Structures are given as C-alpha cells and as structure tokens.
Structure 1
C-alpha cells in the first residue's frame, strides 16, 4: 500500500523556532568524564506547503545539541543548517560554498566530529557542511580542496588509525561508487573509484583490519524519476540481486559475495575471524517497493559470514525484533564485539510504511549480547519515542560495556524531550542522569557524542 501522505507528523512533526537555553535542569548526576556535546541531526521542514511531495529523507536539516561540562548541562541549542535556500528564507546571506555541486540540499542525515571540527552530512554525493562549536553554519566544505567529488552520510571512524572511511554514491547518471578516506587532520588521503553502472544506493559501510565493506544491494537510483514528485529518486530492484564486497584497505579490486536480495541502511560492526569476515547488519528483506515512501518490511538483526577461501556467504538471523540504528562501543569498530545496541523501529516503520507495519508498544532500546545470544530490552513507556543511542566509554573503561549510552527520549508528560544517560553495564537500571530539554526534539536520524578536545 503506497504511502501518499505527509510523513512529517507525529514524532516527525517539525519544530518552528530556533531555541537557546542555558543551565538545564538535571535529575541524577552527570558523570565528570562526559565533557563535550551530544549532537543529533534530522529533517525539519520549513515549508510544508511546498509543491514537492514531502519525503522523510529530503527535509530541511536541523541539528540539536546539548553541551555537558563539569557535571552540568551547560546549554541546549537547535539550528537549521543554512543551505542557500534556508539562508534565503531566513533573510540571511548565503554561507560560503552553499550552492553545492549537484543542487542545494540540506545535510539532514548525520552530524559528526572529526579533526576538531563538526560536519553535517547527507546522502547522494553532496558536500558536508561545517558547523561551529555552537552549531552555527560555517558553510559547505571540501576538506581544504582535497575532496574530489561528493561525500557520504555514514562514514566509519577507524579507532586504530583515526582515519574516517566512507563509501560514496552519486545521483542519477553516475556509474561508480567511491572509497574516500579522510586523515585525522581533515584531508582526503585516498579516493578510489568502484565501477557501478547500475547505480546502487549505499548508506553505510564497515571496516575490518584488512578490508572496507561495500554494499551493492537491491535498491538502485531511479534514472527516470521526476525529482519534483520523487525527491529521493530510488527504487527496489530485485532483478539486480544483492552482493557484499570486500575492498582491500590499500587495494582497488573488490571481491564480491552474492547474498539474498535485501537492503541495509546500517551496520552494527564487522571483524575478521581467520579466513572469514563477519558482518552484523540490520537487514530489510525489501525496501522502496513502488516508490520511495512505500512500506518496508521489518528490519531485523542479521549476521553475514563471508568465507574468503570458498567465496560463499552465509546468512543467519540474530534477532527478529524490528529495530534500527545499531551501534557498538567505538573502540571495538573493526574488531570482534560482544555487545551491540539498537532502537526499536516502530516510529521509523510507521513513518515509512503502511498502517499495519510491525510495531512494538512503546519505544525501547535493545542491548544485544551476541556471544551469549541474548538480549535485554529497556522500555521507556507508552507515548515515549527514542532513536539512535551513542556509546561513550568511561575514561578508565575495564570492559567492552563499561560506558554510557546517551540518547534523546521524548517525554509525553512534559511534551518535551530529555537527554537520557544510561549505564551500558546496568542497562535496565535507573538512568545515570536525565537532562530536561526545554522543547520537543522531533524524531530524526543520526547523532554523535563529540568529546571536547584535550
């Protein structure tokens, strides 16, 4: 059943004002080693009367931020990212580089810290936008003139090298993917083309010590889409099949492994186990059927094992609950992990899919123990909604789950959002701290904990 309505309702309904608030009220105690900012990006349309069909992945970008320091919640801010169109609508001068290569697109998908700078990211080969510490828009960036083309929405940071890896894809007419590596100093140090004449859509990647994982799955760019009616021009393309590639970290030839048709937005983690590469992902059996807003099937946590000797791939279900936004302790990215964290996907499913899409009563987080094949569920209660949690290790971590989960949770009793800090070890216990934000934060996409320098 196609979805023809406006997705920006309910949890995704936009806010209309930019807000700055200081010295936020806190319940509990903010740990002394949480000094930095939690930032979260997402679509927040300014004009719902636009003649373009609204799309969850194409809304104007707004970043929300909370600064923690010395056991206090110093400030909350939310700011529209000043693309050229947003700056014009607000009566402001355009920021440098705002008219980017393909079109003026608000980077509404992710916000990260790298090389002591802050970047907002989006799909489809557009440049990142740089933000100030206070999340004001500086302008589009090409990493000091070193970025040869566009970038990606979901790069991966290698904790061993400090390098940022991305698999990039471009919109209709481009016959390649790209592997782009940004140094710890914020410059492109590797850019490799990967032939892809069928134009696959790629959101995420994964790293191991020897490989970069490349997804070539069953969703491709729709080359004949009318972007005025279909602003995210992609389509389900089961005839393409699906495959996963291993690109040597210093090579140019991808080795491909065939898998069942599917689509993946997000990877939990990947690692090498002898001759096998193990990849844990949230997998959709189908996606974008008949159009960019037609209902997905339920996303579940799966494991792919790629045998580099036989060339065969094995697929195994790890958890069958609908879930999204998987995360691990960033210190174990690329190495074998025991724990993973994900969000119950009810809000996402109801926004993207038909009215009878699978859901869970109340929103929740899940802590997976893949070694013991078990999981814990933390329920927040009816009317609450949450999203991606960021894992922050303690300053003297003694175990993989010795750290905090930082996550935004909407509180229906206040009609506003809380920044909740959980103990990853005591996952279902009382929150370590709860910061009361003065406003509602709409459901969105990706966020990051960005520690202060030094």
Structure 2
C-alpha cells in the first residue's frame, strides 16, 4: 500500500492510500487490471520514486516497477521503454550530474548480480552481470563518480526457508565470504576487497577521495539473523549503527570505523549529492530493528522505531537529535531542499511519526537548519500509516 500527502502553497491538499494493483490484487478487489498481466505478478512494497515525471513503486527482486499516476492509482508495470531486463531492488541511485539512474538486481535463481544504467533517454543503456555464489541478498549498493560499489555479504538464499513459506527466505551463511567490490563506471571488471563478517542494510552515500572510495552506511554486527531467527530479541534483531568504510584502492584494503554507535536506520542524504561528497545526513533512531521489519503476521512492529530523528554533521563529527514525545515512533526522514537554497542543509526533513495520543500518524516537517526546534508544520492524518520501508519527495516540476 502506498501512502501519500500532497502539499501545495503551504497547505496539505489531501492524504490518501492505495493498494498497488497487481493483477491478483485487482482481481480480489473486483477490478479489471490496467494492461497486460506481467509474468511476475507481485505488488511492489519497498520504495516509491519519481523518474522523469513518473511515479514508480519498486519491489526487492522479481517484478517490474509499477507506475502510479499522481493520484496514486496504478497505471501498470513499467519497463523503461521495453529495455529493462528482469527487475531491480528498491534502492536506485540517480547521478544528477550525469543524468544517469543506476540500479542493481538479484534473484534466488540467478548466479550473478545485475548492475543496470538507465541513461538520459530513459532507456537501459548497459547491463553488467557480476558473478556471485550462493544467491546473496543484495538489498542496496553505493555509487561514486568513478565506481559502482557492490556488497557481497553472508546472507544467502535458503531454499528450505522458501519451501516453508518464510517471509524472508535468507539466512546467515558462515561459509560465504564477506567482501565489497568496485565496478568501474567507465568499464571493466569488479575488483573485490575482503572485510570482516558483517551485515549492512542501507548506504547513506559514497564518494571518491584521492585513491580511495568512502562509503557511509548503517551496519549490523555479525551474525545477523533475519525474520526472527537466532538471538537478539523476539525478531532476531541486532541494532544498526552508522559506519564509514574507506576502500583503499592503492593498497587493496578496507578500513572501517563507527561514526555513531547509537541504534539508527534508514540513512538519507540530499539526493542531488548522490555519488559526491556530502556533509549532512539524516537517520531515524531505532529500537529493535530487523532486516525484515515484520512480525509473524506480516506487520511492521512500531516498537522497532524510536521517538527521535538524528542529523549528522560529517565535517564536524557532531549530531543533533530531534526528540519527539514519549512512545512516538518516527520513520524514515526524507530531505527536501528549499527553493533557492544556498547551503546543503537549507531545507526540510519530513517524516511520518506515529502519534500515540491520537492513535494515528502525523506528517512532521522539520527545518533542517533548526533541527532541534519545533516542527515547521505537522499534518495530522486521519489514521495509522504502518511504519516500514521507504518513501520519496516527488515534486510536480
């Protein structure tokens, strides 16, 4: 289900939610499906992004993106003018300077990870197959001006779990190597670098620095168990911290350090700086997070989210925390640049926040340069919005 709020001229015009209409969902709702039924008929549930005037709902692996109109109704699947081979994950990287959209895809039946480049014409211009063993989960990646950064980590497909109907049929695999790879954007093969066993969930951003590549991310300690397996709480959870990996290309090694060891997830950056050096970052404080973010009945546990949002100043090494009322739960904060902005943090951090007093959600808008101050605005929505997964700010222009 996609949730949206339309803001215009200082007012909230509407809030609405819509099921993404796969053919099976349309059939259950007694509606005709808008277009030919896709081969992988599965409603997307991971991310919503804007691309060249379109709104696309994305799924982890398998189905094509589903296009939505600006009222959040489903138009049908979208294959980038017939050029998309397979599908890609919910995390894409748009290089604004190059006009390129980069994406990766993986699937339990593939012996590789696919990197795809969609050029300024809106077509897939290049697909690179990167061989990997054991069908690892490759949820996210990173992009710099020179490289595509691929993570090959020891969470791999579990056929027995798939047969059982596990929500996320992936397990920690001690026999699988832990490594990070650099794929040159100019062409060539991947160079792999070994790292100590760890699991990362989301990249904040990456950039080139002299002969190194710097990647900021949220990472979990090893071993990491998904969907309630193993230790670490009722959902098999360990807490993620904000880390920096510096890949030293000249000397063939990776240096890792923790930037902030407080539990946090869903790192976001000013989107125009993807693949370039950034100063500011925004994360949601976490309580008991898991990769699946799901209870056995398939619903996100609100207690996985805490009552705070964090702004990081990477240059000074400082943080600011916007604390919300006790028992509130703040989801991912999306950064929106102000019109005519002259500074990287001249804008707003926008997040859905569960309001326990109302039993409903507020859309909270913070001024990024006054992060600890009172919200600029709070839009009181009529009901709950499940706190899970990702979203985007999509301007009309």
Settle same-fold status: TM greater than 0.5.
Answer: yes
Query: Residues 83 and 238 (structure 1 numbering): CA distance in 2 closer, same or farther, change over 3 Å?
Result: same
SS of the residue aligned with 2:387?
A: coil
Matches within 5 A, 1:26-425: 62-101=1-40, 104-171=41-108, 173-286=109-222, 289=225, 292-294=227-229, 295-346=236-287, 348-349=289-290, 362-425=306-369
Q: Secondary structure at the match of 1:152?
A: coil
Aligned residue in 2 for 1:46? none
**3-state SS of 1:226 partner:** helix
CA distances 1:37-61 after superposition (whole Å, capped 9, x unpaired): xxxxxxxxxxxxxxxxxxxxxxxxx
Would the alpha carbon gap of residues 332 and 351 (structure 1) be closer, same or farther in structure 2, given more than 3 Å must change? closer
Q: CA deviation at 1:384?
A: 1.1
**Aligned-residue offset at 1:372:** 1.5
Separation in 2, partners of 1:403, 1:336:
18
| C-alpha separation in 2, matches of 1:94 and 1:361 | 36
Q: Is the 8 Å Cα contact of residues 155 and 167 (structure 1) preserved in structure 2? A: yes
Q: Which moved more, 1:426-435 or 1:221-230?
A: 221-230
Distance in 2 (alpha carbons) for counterparts of 1:126 and 1:169: 11
1:372-424 CA-to-partner distances (Å, cap 9, x unmatched) read: 12111111122211111111111111111111111111112222211111111
Asked if the contact 1:280/1:303 (under 8 Å) is kept, the reply is yes
Name stretches of at least 5 consecutive residues in structure 2 with no aligned partner: 230-235
Contact 1:97 1:141 in 2 (8 A): no
Inter-partner Cα distance in structure 2 for 1:105 and 1:261: 33
Shift of 1:97: 4.3
CA offset digits 1:91-134 (Å, max 9, x no partner): 11223244333xx3221000000011010001123211111110
Q: Which residue pairs with 1:33 in the alignment?
A: none
Query: In 1, are the aligned partners of 2:239 and 2:288 still within 8 Å (CA)?
Result: no
Q: Does structure 1 retain, via aligned residues, the 8 Å contact 2:149–2:180?
A: yes
Kindly tell me: are residues 123 and 284 of structure 1, through their superposed partners in 2, closer, same or farther at Cα, counting changes over 3 Å? same
Q: Secondary structure at the match of 1:419?
A: strand
Deviation at 1:275, TM superposition (A): 0.5
Per-residue CA distance 1:196-245 (angstroms, 9 max, x = gap): 13211111111111111111111111234334521422111122131111
SS in structure 2 at match of 1:405:
strand
SS of the residue corresponding to residue 126 of structure 1 reads coil
- Kindly indicate whether the alpha-carbon contact (under 8 Å) linking 2:365 and 2:375 is maintained by their aligned counterparts in 1: yes
Q: Supply the distance in 1 between the matched residues of 2:16 and 2:287 (Cα, whole angstroms).
A: 27
* Residue 368 (structure 1) shift: 1.0
276 and 63 in structure 1: CA distance in 2 versus 1, 3 angstrom threshold: same
Task: Provide the C-alpha distance between the structure 1 equivalents of 2:164 and 2:305, rounded to a whole number of angstroms.
Answer: 36
Structure 1 stretches of 5 or more lacking a match? 1-61
Distance 2:71 2:390 in 1: 18
After superposition, the C-alpha distances for 1:128-159 in whole angstroms (9 at most, x for unaligned) are 11111101011122112101112221111112
CA contact (8 A) 1:120 1:129 kept: yes
What CA distance in whole angstroms lies between the structure 2 residues aligned with 1:85 and 1:348? 31
Q: Distance in 1 between matches of 2:289 and 2:71?
A: 29
Relative to 1, partners in 2 of residues 1:185 and 1:77: Cα closer, same or farther, differing over 3 Å?
Answer: farther
Change (3 A) 1:287 1:181: farther
Q: Per the alignment, do residues 71 and 252 of structure 1 end up closer, same or farther by CA in structure 2, a change over 3 Å counting?
A: same
- Residue aligning to 1:28: none
Return the TM-score normalized by structure 1.
0.81
Cα distance change, pair 181–96 in 1 and its aligned pair in 2 (3 A)? same
Cα 1:303–1:286 change in 2 (3 A) is same
Q: Relative to 1, partners in 2 of residues 1:131 and 1:402: Cα closer, same or farther, differing over 3 Å?
A: same
Q: Residue 183 of structure 1: CA displacement?
A: 2.5
Does 1 or 2 have the higher relative contact order (CA < 8 Å, sep 6+)?
1
C-alpha distance 247-438 of structure 1, shift in aligned 2 (>3 A):
same
